[in-house]
Structure 1
Amino acid sequence: MIKIEDITFVAAEAYKRSGLVLSTDKGYLLESRLAPLARAEGYPSIEALIAAARRESNDRLLWAITEALATHETFFFRDNTPFDLFKQEILPVLSRARGNMSTIRIWCAACSSGQEPYSLAMILEEEKARLGGLRFEIVATDMAPRVLEKAKAGVYSQFEVQRGLAIQRLVTHFDQSGDQWRIKPNLRSMVTFQKQNLLENFSGMGTFDVIFCRNVLIYFDADTKKRILQRLAAQTASDGYLIMGAAETVVGLSQDFAPVEGRRGLYGRSGAAKSAAA
Protein backbone atom coordinates (compact mmCIF):
# COMPACT_ATOMS: atom_id res chain seq x y z
CA MET A 1 0.00 0.00 0.00
CA ILE A 2 1.47 3.35 -1.08
CA LYS A 3 1.77 5.84 1.76
CA ILE A 4 -0.33 8.99 1.67
CA GLU A 5 2.76 11.20 1.79
CA ASP A 6 4.11 9.44 -1.32
CA ILE A 7 0.82 9.91 -3.14
CA THR A 8 0.78 13.57 -2.14
CA PHE A 9 4.33 14.07 -3.37
CA VAL A 10 3.71 12.35 -6.71
CA ALA A 11 0.40 14.20 -7.18
CA ALA A 12 2.07 17.57 -6.61
CA GLU A 13 4.87 16.79 -9.06
CA ALA A 14 2.47 15.49 -11.72
CA TYR A 15 0.26 18.57 -11.36
CA LYS A 16 3.23 20.91 -11.68
CA ARG A 17 4.45 19.22 -14.85
CA SER A 18 1.24 18.30 -16.64
CA GLY A 19 -1.79 19.81 -14.91
CA LEU A 20 -2.96 16.30 -14.05
CA VAL A 21 -5.10 16.30 -10.90
CA LEU A 22 -4.67 13.23 -8.67
CA SER A 23 -6.54 12.95 -5.39
CA THR A 24 -5.12 11.01 -2.44
CA ASP A 25 -7.63 8.19 -2.99
CA LYS A 26 -5.88 7.29 -6.27
CA GLY A 27 -3.34 4.93 -4.69
CA TYR A 28 -4.61 2.10 -6.88
CA LEU A 29 -3.80 4.16 -9.99
CA LEU A 30 -0.25 4.74 -8.83
CA GLU A 31 0.18 1.05 -8.09
CA SER A 32 -1.02 -0.09 -11.52
CA ARG A 33 0.88 2.51 -13.55
CA LEU A 34 4.08 2.92 -11.59
CA ALA A 35 4.85 -0.77 -11.00
CA PRO A 36 6.01 -1.32 -14.61
CA LEU A 37 8.06 1.89 -14.47
CA ALA A 38 9.74 0.81 -11.21
CA ARG A 39 10.74 -2.48 -12.83
CA ALA A 40 12.00 -0.76 -15.97
CA GLU A 41 14.07 1.67 -13.90
CA GLY A 42 15.54 -1.13 -11.80
CA TYR A 43 13.84 -0.38 -8.48
CA PRO A 44 12.52 -3.21 -6.30
CA SER A 45 9.24 -1.41 -5.53
CA ILE A 46 7.12 1.64 -6.26
CA GLU A 47 8.12 3.01 -2.87
CA ALA A 48 11.79 2.77 -3.83
CA LEU A 49 11.10 4.52 -7.13
CA ILE A 50 9.32 7.40 -5.40
CA ALA A 51 11.99 7.61 -2.70
CA ALA A 52 14.70 7.93 -5.35
CA ALA A 53 12.78 10.62 -7.21
CA ARG A 54 12.21 12.52 -3.98
CA ARG A 55 15.74 12.10 -2.64
CA GLU A 56 17.53 13.06 -5.83
CA SER A 57 15.01 15.60 -7.15
CA ASN A 58 15.59 13.60 -10.32
CA ASP A 59 13.85 15.56 -13.07
CA ARG A 60 14.08 12.74 -15.63
CA LEU A 61 12.57 10.28 -13.16
CA LEU A 62 9.85 12.71 -12.12
CA TRP A 63 8.91 13.24 -15.77
CA ALA A 64 8.84 9.46 -16.31
CA ILE A 65 6.48 9.14 -13.33
CA THR A 66 4.27 11.93 -14.70
CA GLU A 67 4.09 10.35 -18.14
CA ALA A 68 3.27 6.95 -16.65
CA LEU A 69 0.37 8.46 -14.71
CA ALA A 70 -1.08 10.29 -17.73
CA THR A 71 -3.87 8.53 -19.60
CA HIS A 72 -2.81 7.62 -23.15
CA GLU A 73 -5.97 5.76 -24.10
CA THR A 74 -6.79 6.20 -27.79
CA PHE A 75 -7.88 4.25 -30.84
CA PHE A 76 -8.69 4.83 -34.49
CA PHE A 77 -11.87 6.83 -35.17
CA ARG A 78 -12.58 6.98 -31.45
CA ASP A 79 -16.18 8.12 -30.95
CA ASN A 80 -17.12 8.41 -34.63
CA THR A 81 -19.07 11.67 -34.20
CA PRO A 82 -16.09 14.09 -34.40
CA PHE A 83 -14.78 12.38 -37.53
CA ASP A 84 -18.20 12.44 -39.16
CA LEU A 85 -18.48 16.15 -38.37
CA PHE A 86 -15.01 16.76 -39.78
CA LYS A 87 -15.76 14.95 -43.02
CA GLN A 88 -19.38 15.90 -43.65
CA GLU A 89 -19.61 19.42 -42.29
CA ILE A 90 -16.32 21.09 -41.33
CA LEU A 91 -14.43 20.22 -44.51
CA PRO A 92 -17.17 21.56 -46.84
CA VAL A 93 -17.51 24.77 -44.81
CA LEU A 94 -13.77 25.45 -44.72
CA SER A 95 -13.41 24.49 -48.38
CA ARG A 96 -15.95 27.14 -49.38
CA ALA A 97 -14.51 29.72 -47.01
CA ARG A 98 -10.86 29.23 -47.94
CA GLY A 99 -11.14 28.63 -51.65
CA ASN A 100 -9.04 26.43 -53.89
CA MET A 101 -5.27 26.13 -53.38
CA SER A 102 -5.41 27.23 -49.72
CA THR A 103 -3.87 25.31 -46.82
CA ILE A 104 -6.07 24.14 -43.95
CA ARG A 105 -4.16 23.59 -40.72
CA ILE A 106 -5.29 20.98 -38.18
CA TRP A 107 -3.88 20.45 -34.70
CA CYS A 108 -4.37 17.24 -32.73
CA ALA A 109 -3.42 18.12 -29.16
CA ALA A 110 -2.46 15.30 -26.78
CA CYS A 111 -2.37 12.89 -29.72
CA SER A 112 -0.93 9.99 -27.71
CA SER A 113 0.22 7.18 -30.03
CA GLY A 114 -1.13 8.81 -33.19
CA GLN A 115 -4.44 7.11 -33.98
CA GLU A 116 -6.41 10.38 -34.07
CA PRO A 117 -4.23 12.30 -36.57
CA TYR A 118 -3.86 9.21 -38.75
CA SER A 119 -7.66 8.79 -38.74
CA LEU A 120 -7.94 12.36 -40.04
CA ALA A 121 -5.27 11.66 -42.66
CA MET A 122 -7.30 8.68 -43.89
CA ILE A 123 -10.37 10.87 -44.30
CA LEU A 124 -8.41 13.48 -46.23
CA GLU A 125 -6.88 10.83 -48.48
CA GLU A 126 -10.30 9.32 -49.16
CA GLU A 127 -11.86 12.74 -49.87
CA LYS A 128 -9.03 14.26 -51.90
CA ALA A 129 -10.86 14.00 -55.21
CA ARG A 130 -13.62 16.21 -53.81
CA LEU A 131 -11.27 18.67 -52.12
CA GLY A 132 -9.72 20.00 -55.30
CA GLY A 133 -6.50 21.92 -54.79
CA LEU A 134 -6.86 22.33 -51.04
CA ARG A 135 -3.77 21.43 -49.05
CA PHE A 136 -3.74 20.16 -45.50
CA GLU A 137 -1.26 20.29 -42.67
CA ILE A 138 -1.81 18.06 -39.63
CA VAL A 139 0.26 18.86 -36.55
CA ALA A 140 0.03 16.29 -33.74
CA THR A 141 1.49 16.92 -30.30
CA ASP A 142 1.90 15.21 -26.96
CA MET A 143 3.98 15.84 -23.86
CA ALA A 144 5.20 12.23 -23.64
CA PRO A 145 8.21 11.29 -25.81
CA ARG A 146 7.48 7.58 -25.48
CA VAL A 147 4.06 7.72 -27.14
CA LEU A 148 5.30 10.26 -29.70
CA GLU A 149 7.97 7.82 -30.86
CA LYS A 150 5.31 5.19 -31.40
CA ALA A 151 3.14 7.69 -33.26
CA LYS A 152 6.02 8.70 -35.54
CA ALA A 153 6.77 5.06 -36.33
CA GLY A 154 3.14 4.43 -37.27
CA VAL A 155 3.32 0.74 -36.41
CA TYR A 156 0.39 -0.90 -34.61
CA SER A 157 -0.50 -4.33 -33.31
CA GLN A 158 -3.39 -6.45 -34.52
CA PHE A 159 -5.31 -5.48 -31.39
CA GLU A 160 -4.73 -1.76 -32.00
CA VAL A 161 -5.88 -1.78 -35.62
CA GLN A 162 -8.96 -3.81 -34.73
CA ARG A 163 -10.10 -1.00 -32.44
CA GLY A 164 -12.09 1.37 -34.65
CA LEU A 165 -10.75 0.45 -38.10
CA ALA A 166 -12.98 -1.09 -40.74
CA ILE A 167 -11.25 -3.87 -42.67
CA GLN A 168 -11.40 -1.87 -45.91
CA ARG A 169 -9.51 1.02 -44.34
CA LEU A 170 -7.00 -1.34 -42.81
CA VAL A 171 -6.04 -2.98 -46.09
CA THR A 172 -6.11 0.33 -47.97
CA HIS A 173 -4.02 2.43 -45.60
CA PHE A 174 -1.66 -0.07 -43.92
CA ASP A 175 1.04 -2.53 -44.91
CA GLN A 176 1.16 -5.77 -42.93
CA SER A 177 4.37 -7.25 -41.57
CA GLY A 178 3.73 -10.37 -39.52
CA ASP A 179 1.35 -9.40 -36.73
CA GLN A 180 2.20 -5.69 -37.09
CA TRP A 181 0.57 -3.08 -39.33
CA ARG A 182 2.45 -0.04 -40.61
CA ILE A 183 0.69 3.12 -41.79
CA LYS A 184 1.46 3.76 -45.46
CA PRO A 185 4.07 6.42 -46.26
CA ASN A 186 1.64 8.78 -47.98
CA LEU A 187 -0.40 9.08 -44.77
CA ARG A 188 2.64 9.19 -42.54
CA SER A 189 3.96 12.16 -44.51
CA MET A 190 0.74 14.09 -43.90
CA VAL A 191 1.33 14.34 -40.14
CA THR A 192 4.02 16.27 -38.28
CA PHE A 193 4.61 15.07 -34.71
CA GLN A 194 6.21 17.22 -32.06
CA LYS A 195 6.54 17.42 -28.29
CA GLN A 196 4.27 19.99 -26.69
CA ASN A 197 2.95 20.32 -23.14
CA LEU A 198 -0.37 22.19 -23.03
CA LEU A 199 0.78 23.92 -19.86
CA GLU A 200 3.67 25.50 -21.75
CA ASN A 201 3.68 28.25 -24.35
CA PHE A 202 2.47 27.10 -27.76
CA SER A 203 1.92 30.49 -29.42
CA GLY A 204 4.74 29.76 -31.87
CA MET A 205 2.71 27.00 -33.49
CA GLY A 206 0.67 29.49 -35.48
CA THR A 207 -3.03 29.63 -36.29
CA PHE A 208 -5.18 26.56 -36.93
CA ASP A 209 -8.47 26.10 -38.73
CA VAL A 210 -9.41 23.04 -36.67
CA ILE A 211 -8.13 22.01 -33.24
CA PHE A 212 -8.87 18.56 -31.84
CA CYS A 213 -8.40 18.67 -28.06
CA ARG A 214 -10.46 15.69 -26.96
CA ASN A 215 -10.62 13.90 -23.61
CA VAL A 216 -7.75 15.99 -22.24
CA LEU A 217 -9.23 18.83 -20.22
CA ILE A 218 -11.26 16.40 -18.09
CA TYR A 219 -8.05 15.67 -16.18
CA PHE A 220 -7.41 19.34 -15.28
CA ASP A 221 -8.87 21.62 -12.63
CA ALA A 222 -11.13 24.51 -13.62
CA ASP A 223 -8.44 27.22 -13.53
CA THR A 224 -6.12 25.17 -15.75
CA LYS A 225 -8.96 24.47 -18.19
CA LYS A 226 -9.72 28.19 -18.42
CA ARG A 227 -6.09 29.09 -19.14
CA ILE A 228 -5.71 26.42 -21.80
CA LEU A 229 -8.98 27.31 -23.52
CA GLN A 230 -7.97 30.98 -23.61
CA ARG A 231 -4.67 30.08 -25.24
CA LEU A 232 -6.30 27.63 -27.66
CA ALA A 233 -8.64 30.40 -28.77
CA ALA A 234 -5.66 32.59 -29.59
CA GLN A 235 -4.43 29.85 -31.97
CA THR A 236 -7.82 29.26 -33.62
CA ALA A 237 -8.80 31.08 -36.82
CA SER A 238 -11.70 33.48 -36.38
CA ASP A 239 -13.96 31.08 -38.29
CA GLY A 240 -12.18 27.94 -37.07
CA TYR A 241 -13.37 25.09 -34.89
CA LEU A 242 -12.47 23.44 -31.60
CA ILE A 243 -13.49 19.79 -31.17
CA MET A 244 -13.62 18.42 -27.63
CA GLY A 245 -14.63 15.11 -26.06
CA ALA A 246 -18.24 14.14 -25.50
CA ALA A 247 -17.90 14.61 -21.72
CA GLU A 248 -16.20 18.02 -22.02
CA THR A 249 -17.59 21.52 -22.38
CA VAL A 250 -16.47 25.14 -22.56
CA VAL A 251 -19.59 26.32 -20.74
CA GLY A 252 -18.59 28.27 -17.66
CA LEU A 253 -14.93 28.07 -18.67
CA SER A 254 -14.49 30.14 -21.80
CA GLN A 255 -16.09 33.14 -23.44
CA ASP A 256 -13.85 32.72 -26.47
CA PHE A 257 -15.67 29.64 -27.79
CA ALA A 258 -19.37 28.97 -28.24
CA PRO A 259 -21.17 25.67 -28.97
CA VAL A 260 -22.19 24.99 -32.55
CA GLU A 261 -25.90 24.36 -32.36
CA GLY A 262 -26.88 20.70 -32.52
CA ARG A 263 -23.28 19.46 -32.81
CA ARG A 264 -22.03 17.67 -29.72
CA GLY A 265 -18.45 18.55 -28.82
CA LEU A 266 -18.07 21.14 -31.60
CA TYR A 267 -17.28 24.78 -30.83
CA GLY A 268 -16.63 27.88 -32.90
CA ARG A 269 -15.01 31.16 -31.94
CA SER A 270 -17.47 33.37 -30.08
CA GLY A 271 -19.13 35.81 -32.43
CA ALA A 272 -18.56 33.38 -35.28
CA ALA A 273 -20.31 30.25 -33.92
CA LYS A 274 -22.61 28.83 -36.54
CA SER A 275 -24.30 25.73 -37.75
CA ALA A 276 -21.44 23.77 -39.24
CA ALA A 277 -23.48 22.90 -42.29
CA ALA A 278 -24.60 26.48 -42.92
Structure 2
Amino acid sequence: MANDVSARQDRLQQGDFEYFRQFLQDACGISLGENKQYLVTTRVRGILSDNNLESLKALVDQMKQPRHSQLRDQVIDAMTTNETFWFRDVYPFEYLKNVLFDQLQQDGASAGAIRMWCAACASGQEPYSISIAVEEHRYSKPGAGPREVKIVATDLSTSSLIAARCGEYDSSSVQRGLVPERLNVFFDRCEGDRWRVKPAVRNRVEFRTLNLMDSYAVLGKFDVIFCRNVLIYFSGDLKRDILRRLHCALKPGGLLFLGASEGLAGVADLFEMVHCKPGILYRAL
Protein backbone atom coordinates (compact mmCIF):
# COMPACT_ATOMS: atom_id res chain seq x y z
CA MET A 1 0.00 0.00 0.00
CA ALA A 2 2.78 2.44 0.92
CA ASN A 3 4.45 1.78 -2.42
CA ASP A 4 1.18 2.51 -4.25
CA VAL A 5 0.81 5.85 -2.42
CA SER A 6 4.42 6.77 -3.18
CA ALA A 7 3.96 5.92 -6.87
CA ARG A 8 0.83 8.09 -7.09
CA GLN A 9 2.68 10.99 -5.43
CA ASP A 10 5.55 10.63 -7.90
CA ARG A 11 3.09 10.70 -10.82
CA LEU A 12 1.39 13.77 -9.40
CA GLN A 13 4.72 15.55 -8.95
CA GLN A 14 5.79 14.63 -12.48
CA GLY A 15 2.45 15.85 -13.81
CA ASP A 16 2.85 19.15 -11.97
CA PHE A 17 6.36 19.51 -13.39
CA GLU A 18 5.10 18.94 -16.95
CA TYR A 19 2.31 21.47 -16.35
CA PHE A 20 4.86 24.03 -15.13
CA ARG A 21 7.26 23.21 -17.95
CA GLN A 22 4.60 23.74 -20.62
CA PHE A 23 3.46 27.01 -19.09
CA LEU A 24 7.01 28.38 -19.05
CA GLN A 25 7.56 27.46 -22.69
CA ASP A 26 4.23 28.93 -23.80
CA ALA A 27 4.70 32.13 -21.77
CA CYS A 28 8.25 33.06 -22.68
CA GLY A 29 9.88 30.31 -24.74
CA ILE A 30 12.09 28.90 -21.99
CA SER A 31 12.63 25.22 -22.75
CA LEU A 32 13.32 23.02 -19.71
CA GLY A 33 14.75 19.53 -20.08
CA GLU A 34 12.79 16.55 -18.80
CA ASN A 35 15.40 16.04 -16.07
CA LYS A 36 15.07 19.55 -14.58
CA GLN A 37 12.43 18.77 -11.97
CA TYR A 38 14.86 19.10 -9.06
CA LEU A 39 16.18 22.40 -10.45
CA VAL A 40 12.64 23.78 -10.72
CA THR A 41 11.74 22.64 -7.20
CA THR A 42 14.88 24.22 -5.78
CA ARG A 43 14.44 27.56 -7.52
CA VAL A 44 10.74 28.09 -6.81
CA ARG A 45 10.59 26.61 -3.30
CA GLY A 46 10.80 30.05 -1.69
CA ILE A 47 8.15 31.46 -4.03
CA LEU A 48 5.77 28.62 -3.17
CA SER A 49 6.32 29.23 0.53
CA ASP A 50 5.93 33.02 0.31
CA ASN A 51 2.61 32.64 -1.54
CA ASN A 52 1.25 29.76 0.57
CA LEU A 53 1.12 27.46 -2.45
CA GLU A 54 1.52 23.71 -2.07
CA SER A 55 2.37 22.59 -5.60
CA LEU A 56 3.71 23.65 -8.98
CA LYS A 57 0.22 23.23 -10.41
CA ALA A 58 -1.16 25.72 -7.90
CA LEU A 59 1.66 28.10 -8.83
CA VAL A 60 0.90 27.86 -12.54
CA ASP A 61 -2.82 28.35 -11.91
CA GLN A 62 -1.98 31.57 -10.04
CA MET A 63 0.37 32.80 -12.77
CA LYS A 64 -2.32 32.30 -15.40
CA GLN A 65 -4.46 34.94 -13.70
CA PRO A 66 -3.82 38.44 -15.12
CA ARG A 67 -3.60 40.04 -11.69
CA HIS A 68 -0.57 37.88 -10.81
CA SER A 69 1.86 39.27 -13.41
CA GLN A 70 4.35 40.12 -10.66
CA LEU A 71 4.34 36.48 -9.53
CA ARG A 72 5.03 35.42 -13.12
CA ASP A 73 8.00 37.82 -13.24
CA GLN A 74 9.35 36.31 -10.02
CA VAL A 75 9.17 32.80 -11.40
CA ILE A 76 10.77 33.72 -14.74
CA ASP A 77 13.56 35.55 -12.92
CA ALA A 78 14.10 32.47 -10.74
CA MET A 79 14.24 30.14 -13.74
CA THR A 80 16.77 32.19 -15.70
CA THR A 81 20.34 32.63 -14.57
CA ASN A 82 20.34 36.45 -14.89
CA GLU A 83 24.14 36.46 -14.87
CA THR A 84 24.29 40.12 -15.78
CA PHE A 85 27.15 42.46 -15.06
CA TRP A 86 28.99 45.41 -16.53
CA PHE A 87 30.95 45.09 -19.79
CA ARG A 88 30.42 41.34 -19.92
CA ASP A 89 33.04 39.61 -22.13
CA VAL A 90 34.69 43.03 -22.70
CA TYR A 91 35.28 42.67 -26.47
CA PRO A 92 31.83 43.79 -27.73
CA PHE A 93 32.17 47.14 -25.98
CA GLU A 94 35.82 47.64 -26.97
CA TYR A 95 34.95 46.81 -30.58
CA LEU A 96 32.05 49.25 -30.50
CA LYS A 97 34.22 51.99 -29.08
CA ASN A 98 37.34 51.42 -31.17
CA VAL A 99 35.90 50.28 -34.52
CA LEU A 100 32.16 50.22 -35.03
CA PHE A 101 31.16 53.69 -33.93
CA ASP A 102 33.61 55.23 -36.42
CA GLN A 103 32.30 52.95 -39.18
CA LEU A 104 28.68 53.73 -38.39
CA GLN A 105 29.36 57.46 -38.33
CA GLN A 106 31.01 57.29 -41.77
CA ASP A 107 28.52 54.86 -43.33
CA GLY A 108 25.46 56.97 -42.62
CA ALA A 109 26.48 60.52 -41.87
CA SER A 110 23.09 61.83 -43.05
CA ALA A 111 20.95 58.85 -42.02
CA GLY A 112 19.76 60.04 -38.62
CA ALA A 113 20.59 58.47 -35.30
CA ILE A 114 22.52 55.22 -34.89
CA ARG A 115 19.95 52.82 -33.42
CA MET A 116 20.92 49.94 -31.16
CA TRP A 117 18.77 47.30 -29.48
CA CYS A 118 19.73 45.44 -26.33
CA ALA A 119 17.37 42.44 -26.03
CA ALA A 120 16.77 40.68 -22.68
CA CYS A 121 18.45 43.54 -20.84
CA ALA A 122 17.54 42.35 -17.30
CA SER A 123 18.39 45.08 -14.76
CA GLY A 124 20.18 47.31 -17.26
CA GLN A 125 23.90 46.65 -16.97
CA GLU A 126 24.37 45.80 -20.66
CA PRO A 127 22.59 48.79 -22.25
CA TYR A 128 24.24 51.16 -19.78
CA SER A 129 27.62 49.59 -20.62
CA ILE A 130 26.90 50.34 -24.29
CA SER A 131 25.97 53.91 -23.40
CA ILE A 132 29.19 54.32 -21.40
CA ALA A 133 31.11 53.05 -24.46
CA VAL A 134 29.40 55.81 -26.49
CA GLU A 135 30.58 58.41 -23.96
CA GLU A 136 34.13 57.06 -23.96
CA HIS A 137 34.25 57.12 -27.76
CA ARG A 138 33.16 60.75 -27.74
CA TYR A 139 35.75 61.65 -25.12
CA SER A 140 38.51 60.01 -27.15
CA LYS A 141 37.44 61.54 -30.47
CA PRO A 142 35.72 64.86 -29.89
CA GLY A 143 33.80 65.97 -32.95
CA ALA A 144 34.21 62.55 -34.58
CA GLY A 145 30.70 62.53 -35.99
CA PRO A 146 27.31 64.22 -35.74
CA ARG A 147 25.12 61.13 -35.44
CA GLU A 148 23.32 60.60 -32.17
CA VAL A 149 23.22 57.10 -30.66
CA LYS A 150 19.88 55.78 -29.38
CA ILE A 151 19.62 52.54 -27.42
CA VAL A 152 16.41 50.56 -27.00
CA ALA A 153 16.58 47.99 -24.18
CA THR A 154 13.86 45.37 -23.73
CA ASP A 155 12.94 42.62 -21.31
CA LEU A 156 9.79 40.66 -20.49
CA SER A 157 10.18 41.18 -16.72
CA THR A 158 8.50 44.37 -15.55
CA SER A 159 10.29 44.22 -12.20
CA SER A 160 13.68 44.06 -13.94
CA LEU A 161 12.75 47.01 -16.14
CA ILE A 162 11.69 49.10 -13.14
CA ALA A 163 15.14 48.55 -11.62
CA ALA A 164 16.84 49.23 -14.96
CA ARG A 165 15.00 52.53 -15.54
CA CYS A 166 16.01 53.70 -12.08
CA GLY A 167 19.65 53.00 -12.91
CA GLU A 168 20.61 52.64 -9.27
CA TYR A 169 22.82 49.80 -8.03
CA ASP A 170 24.28 48.65 -4.73
CA SER A 171 28.02 48.38 -4.10
CA SER A 172 28.04 44.65 -4.83
CA SER A 173 26.47 45.17 -8.28
CA VAL A 174 28.82 47.94 -9.39
CA GLN A 175 31.84 45.86 -8.43
CA ARG A 176 30.90 43.26 -11.05
CA GLY A 177 32.73 44.45 -14.12
CA LEU A 178 33.21 48.15 -13.39
CA VAL A 179 36.70 49.52 -12.89
CA PRO A 180 36.95 52.39 -10.35
CA GLU A 181 37.63 54.95 -13.08
CA ARG A 182 34.33 54.24 -14.83
CA LEU A 183 32.44 54.17 -11.56
CA ASN A 184 33.76 57.59 -10.60
CA VAL A 185 33.18 59.18 -14.03
CA PHE A 186 29.79 57.74 -15.01
CA PHE A 187 27.99 57.26 -11.67
CA ASP A 188 26.79 59.46 -8.84
CA ARG A 189 27.14 58.27 -5.25
CA CYS A 190 23.79 57.89 -3.45
CA GLU A 191 22.82 57.26 0.13
CA GLY A 192 23.34 53.83 1.61
CA ASP A 193 26.44 52.97 -0.42
CA ARG A 194 24.51 52.94 -3.68
CA TRP A 195 25.43 54.33 -7.08
CA ARG A 196 23.27 55.80 -9.83
CA VAL A 197 24.08 56.05 -13.53
CA LYS A 198 24.58 59.67 -14.54
CA PRO A 199 21.86 61.31 -16.68
CA ALA A 200 24.07 61.59 -19.78
CA VAL A 201 24.40 57.79 -19.80
CA ARG A 202 20.90 56.97 -18.57
CA ASN A 203 18.96 59.28 -20.89
CA ARG A 204 20.36 57.61 -24.00
CA VAL A 205 18.56 54.35 -23.14
CA GLU A 206 14.84 53.73 -23.64
CA PHE A 207 13.51 50.71 -21.73
CA ARG A 208 10.50 48.84 -23.10
CA THR A 209 8.65 45.65 -22.23
CA LEU A 210 8.98 42.96 -24.89
CA ASN A 211 8.70 39.19 -25.00
CA LEU A 212 11.07 37.84 -27.66
CA MET A 213 8.25 35.56 -28.82
CA ASP A 214 6.23 38.64 -29.85
CA SER A 215 6.55 40.87 -32.93
CA TYR A 216 9.55 43.21 -33.18
CA ALA A 217 7.93 45.48 -35.77
CA VAL A 218 6.98 48.08 -33.18
CA LEU A 219 10.67 48.66 -32.42
CA GLY A 220 11.70 49.65 -35.93
CA LYS A 221 15.05 48.90 -37.61
CA PHE A 222 18.47 48.83 -35.97
CA ASP A 223 22.13 49.27 -36.90
CA VAL A 224 23.29 46.97 -34.08
CA ILE A 225 21.50 44.36 -31.96
CA PHE A 226 22.79 42.77 -28.77
CA CYS A 227 20.95 39.50 -28.03
CA ARG A 228 23.40 37.74 -25.77
CA ASN A 229 23.06 34.77 -23.44
CA VAL A 230 19.30 34.41 -23.92
CA LEU A 231 18.96 32.01 -26.88
CA ILE A 232 20.42 29.25 -24.70
CA TYR A 233 17.04 29.01 -22.94
CA PHE A 234 15.03 28.32 -26.10
CA SER A 235 14.30 25.26 -28.21
CA GLY A 236 16.07 24.86 -31.57
CA ASP A 237 12.98 25.87 -33.55
CA LEU A 238 12.40 28.97 -31.46
CA LYS A 239 16.07 29.98 -31.71
CA ARG A 240 15.85 29.84 -35.50
CA ASP A 241 12.62 31.83 -35.50
CA ILE A 242 14.09 34.52 -33.24
CA LEU A 243 17.28 34.77 -35.30
CA ARG A 244 15.26 35.19 -38.51
CA ARG A 245 13.23 37.95 -36.92
CA LEU A 246 16.35 39.63 -35.53
CA HIS A 247 17.71 39.61 -39.08
CA CYS A 248 14.53 41.36 -40.25
CA ALA A 249 14.94 43.95 -37.47
CA LEU A 250 18.43 44.87 -38.71
CA LYS A 251 19.10 47.45 -41.38
CA PRO A 252 20.98 46.11 -44.45
CA GLY A 253 24.47 45.26 -43.24
CA GLY A 254 23.39 45.63 -39.61
CA LEU A 255 25.34 43.83 -36.90
CA LEU A 256 24.30 41.19 -34.35
CA PHE A 257 26.15 40.30 -31.16
CA LEU A 258 25.34 36.89 -29.62
CA GLY A 259 26.63 35.30 -26.43
CA ALA A 260 29.96 33.50 -26.41
CA SER A 261 28.29 30.06 -26.34
CA GLU A 262 25.60 30.90 -28.91
CA GLY A 263 25.61 30.43 -32.68
CA LEU A 264 23.43 30.93 -35.74
CA ALA A 265 21.38 27.75 -35.19
CA GLY A 266 20.61 26.94 -38.81
CA VAL A 267 20.31 30.47 -40.24
CA ALA A 268 23.94 30.99 -41.27
CA ASP A 269 22.78 31.95 -44.77
CA LEU A 270 21.37 35.18 -43.35
CA PHE A 271 24.60 36.46 -41.80
CA GLU A 272 28.31 36.89 -42.47
CA MET A 273 30.68 36.14 -39.58
CA VAL A 274 32.97 39.02 -38.59
CA HIS A 275 36.03 38.36 -36.41
CA CYS A 276 36.57 40.96 -33.70
CA LYS A 277 39.69 39.30 -32.23
CA PRO A 278 39.02 37.71 -29.77
CA GLY A 279 35.25 37.54 -30.29
CA ILE A 280 32.90 37.38 -33.26
CA LEU A 281 29.80 39.18 -34.45
CA TYR A 282 27.42 38.67 -37.37
CA ARG A 283 26.62 41.03 -40.25
CA ALA A 284 23.20 40.76 -41.86
CA LEU A 285 23.31 39.80 -45.53
Same-fold call, TM cutoff 0.5:
yes
1:247-278 deviation line (CA, Å, top 9, x unaligned): 111152342122114653300012xxxxxxxx
Among 29, 53, 56, the residue aligned to 2:60:
53
Match of 1:90 in 2: 100
Instruction: Please state how far the C-alpha of 1:207 moved relative to its aligned partner.
Output: 0.5
Match of 2:112 in 1: 102
Farther-moved stretch of structure 1 (190-199 vs 77-86): 77-86
Query: Alpha carbons of 1:27 and 1:94: their partners in 2 closer, same or farther (altered >3 Å)?
Result: same
1:178-206 deviation line (CA, Å, top 9, x unaligned): 22111112211110000001100111211
Aligned partner letter, 1:194: R
> In the alignment, is residue 116 of structure 1 matched against residue 126 of structure 2?
yes
> In the alignment, is residue 63 of structure 1 matched against residue 76 of structure 2?
no
> In the alignment, is residue 165 of structure 1 matched against residue 178 of structure 2?
yes
Match of 2:280 in 1: 265
Given that 2:152 and 2:205 are in contact with CA atoms closer than 8 Å, whether structure 1 keeps it comes out as: yes
Match of 2:13 in 1: 3
Match of 1:234 in 2: 248
Match of 1:219 in 2: 233
Query: Alpha carbons of 1:233 and 1:173: their partners in 2 closer, same or farther (altered >3 Å)?
Result: same
Output the TM-score relative to the length of structure 1: 0.89
Match of 1:37 in 2: 47
Given that 1:241 and 1:266 are in contact with CA atoms closer than 8 Å, whether structure 2 keeps it comes out as: yes
Aligned partner letter, 1:186: A
Instruction: Please state how far the C-alpha of 1:58 moved relative to its aligned partner.
Output: 2.8
Query: Alpha carbons of 1:222 and 1:251: their partners in 2 closer, same or farther (altered >3 Å)?
Result: closer
Given that 2:223 and 2:250 are in contact with CA atoms closer than 8 Å, whether structure 1 keeps it comes out as: yes
Aligned partner letter, 2:254: G
Match of 1:13 in 2: 23
Q: Secondary structure at the match of 1:148?
A: helix
Aligned partner letter, 1:155: E
Aligned partner letter, 2:225: I
Distance (Å, rounded) in 2 between the aligned partners of 1:52 and 1:140: 29
Q: Secondary structure at the match of 1:239?
A: strand
For the aligned residue pairs, the C-alpha RMSD in angstroms reads 2.2
> In the alignment, is residue 145 of structure 1 matched against residue 155 of structure 2?
no
Distance (Å, rounded) in 2 between the aligned partners of 1:52 and 1:220: 22
Unaligned runs of 5+ in 1: 271-278
Given that 1:141 and 1:196 are in contact with CA atoms closer than 8 Å, whether structure 2 keeps it comes out as: yes
Distance (Å, rounded) in 1 between the aligned partners of 2:79 and 2:222: 29
Q: Secondary structure at the match of 1:96?
A: helix
Given that 2:127 and 2:205 are in contact with CA atoms closer than 8 Å, whether structure 1 keeps it comes out as: yes
Distance (Å, rounded) in 1 between the aligned partners of 2:284 and 2:204: 26
Aligned residues with identical type, % of pairs: 37
Query: Alpha carbons of 1:29 and 1:230: their partners in 2 closer, same or farther (altered >3 Å)?
Result: same
Distance (Å, rounded) in 1 between the aligned partners of 2:121 and 2:90: 16
1:118-166 deviation line (CA, Å, top 9, x unaligned): 0011111122242331201000000111111110111111111000000
Match of 1:179 in 2: 193
Given that 1:102 and 1:133 are in contact with CA atoms closer than 8 Å, whether structure 2 keeps it comes out as: no
Output the TM-score relative to the length of structure 2: 0.86
The structure number with the bigger radius of gyration is 2
